[in-house]
Structure 1
């Protein structure tokens, strides 16, 4: 499948007002205009797209959906046919959902773990329209998607790898350098970074572990780092550089309980051509100063709807 990367993420939250301050003042997001059909939700922009994040009022803080961007209409239609050929249940989005997402077409499906995904094409945008919520050099998105996502899986279904590699056409990048069972995947059209999505095994647990966002300079990383410290926001890891990526980053906890990794490229990433097996997570820094799994990671009973939970328990 010709997928660019993650185009947008949607969350349910009990903390809309906290996000409304945190998004622009800490991260530098622009508050976007909410669709007429969804006035109570909060939409954030990180570039010229209509939005990259949506926070919908809910009874719990959790990931609601992951939106994958197909390259265009033809690629989108080919993806529909491929899912249908492989017997994967999909639900086509109606005009109301397309309007809410700001796209020309969208369909929904679930992965073998139970996470809700969407695939879309033709998201609205306007050139040179992004205005950060505070002085900020800007985010790197566009042809690479908004960034990356790491989620926890309570089980390790054997069909997970086939779902991403054989069905969706993703590249398996390896398990990374972290402890435990993990899997990193990047989309077919992603030649800019090591992964779009990763799954980490946490027995009996699920939820978002962190979201990674790229910014344009080390100064943007440093200024965000200072704001986080000045506000006393808990961190997961200090500033450092991972062994598998030539990037500098740090992790702090968002109002949603998951970590945000603010990243800048020290040099362009390139495909190594082989599966890496780093001996340690980072070449310098990244001191662990908080929990690796924040309060966004909970039990399936807390995060899944009853019908989906029953299906999960059946296998």
Structure 2
């Protein structure tokens, strides 16, 4: 299982969005007609992120992908047995998401959640919009997301029971109470916390994209400072996943974390769940956006 794709509603696609997506992160935009959604590539997949210019800022959908057809069928069967109303996507919607098969349903806090199989691998190579070494995706998926929930304990249990996620660890700091969950070797693909730091229930706090080189992150950090892009958190290193990263504030009201060097969970039996009282080893100071 992996975080496969993400759909985001934005008030408008402006110059700051373009600077973050292309000048800092180096994503590739798929060709589109005027007014059409902006589909973004991060690897050999057709696309993994879609921005919809809707006049509002919100999460449109979160897409999780099963590794095999058998896993897809097993998870779908379990969802229906547990009373989750799943709708089968038609051919048009599967083409829009660039997957072989997909079902959608309401997740915790009303978040539209999708289960897919067979993400389309594009015949053309990924062409970043600036010189970067690429992103750490593959079996680990797009990256990770942190979302707030009105009932974090129930939401964590939902992902464990319905999608088979496993707890990586916990961090409690200031007013935040966060649980980190994994579904593949990535330290966490999902984190759930209580509403805090301006993030309400069902809202996206941040999306993390992991670079293949620390130099990509460093040069991106230089670009952020050169262009005056607001920082949510300065460059720093996390306690739990050991990611070295910084956080940019987007016009959509959530942050994008750009990092390198996150540790993985290769053996479940050898992994020890830890409880941390701080999210950082160093750095990650509040940026100008939150002064």
Q: Offset at 1:175?
A: 2.2
1:115 match:
111
Q: Which runs of 5+ in 1 are unaligned?
A: 295-315
1:25 match:
23
Structure 2 CA distance for partners of 1:56 and 1:172, relative to 1, 3 Å = same
Structure 2 residue 3 is matched with structure 1 residue 13? no
Structure 2 CA distance for partners of 1:249 and 1:6, relative to 1, 3 Å = same
Structure 2 residue 274 is matched with structure 1 residue 276? yes
- Structure 2: how far apart are the matches of 1:209 and 1:243? 19
Structure 2 residue 165 is matched with structure 1 residue 170? yes
Q: Offset at 1:157?
A: 5.9
Q: Offset at 1:96?
A: 0.8
Contact 2:104/2:114 (8 A) holds in 1: yes
Structure 2 CA distance for partners of 1:250 and 1:22, relative to 1, 3 Å = closer
C-alpha deviations, 1:237-260, integer Å up to 9, x for none? 111111112321111112322111
Q: CA RMSD in A?
A: 2.3
Contact 2:230/2:289 (8 A) holds in 1: no
Q: Offset at 1:163?
A: 1.1
Structure 2 residue 210 is matched with structure 1 residue 214? yes
Contact 1:246/1:268 (8 A) holds in 2: no
Deviates more, 1:88-97 or 1:273-282: 273-282
1:42 match:
38
Counterpart of 2:232 in 1: which secondary structure?
A: strand
Contact 2:241/2:263 (8 A) holds in 1: no
2:189 match:
196
Structure 2 residue 74 is matched with structure 1 residue 81? no
Structure 2 residue 176 is matched with structure 1 residue 183? no
Q: Offset at 1:102?
A: 0.9
2:231 match:
235
Could you state the TM-score of these two structures normalised by the residue count of structure 1?
0.83
Contact 2:152/2:192 (8 A) holds in 1: no
Contact 2:57/2:252 (8 A) holds in 1: yes
Contact 1:149/1:196 (8 A) holds in 2: yes
Structure 2 residue 285 is matched with structure 1 residue 287? yes
- Structure 2: how far apart are the matches of 1:85 and 1:269? 30
Structure 2 residue 259 is matched with structure 1 residue 263? yes
Counterpart of 2:217 in 1: which secondary structure?
A: helix
Q: Which consecutive aligned stretches of 4+ in structure 1 deviate over 4 angstroms post-superposition?
A: 266-272
Q: Which runs of 5+ in 2 are unaligned?
A: none
- Structure 2: how far apart are the matches of 1:10 and 1:282? 29
- Structure 2: how far apart are the matches of 1:281 and 1:159? 23
Structure 2 CA distance for partners of 1:62 and 1:91, relative to 1, 3 Å = same
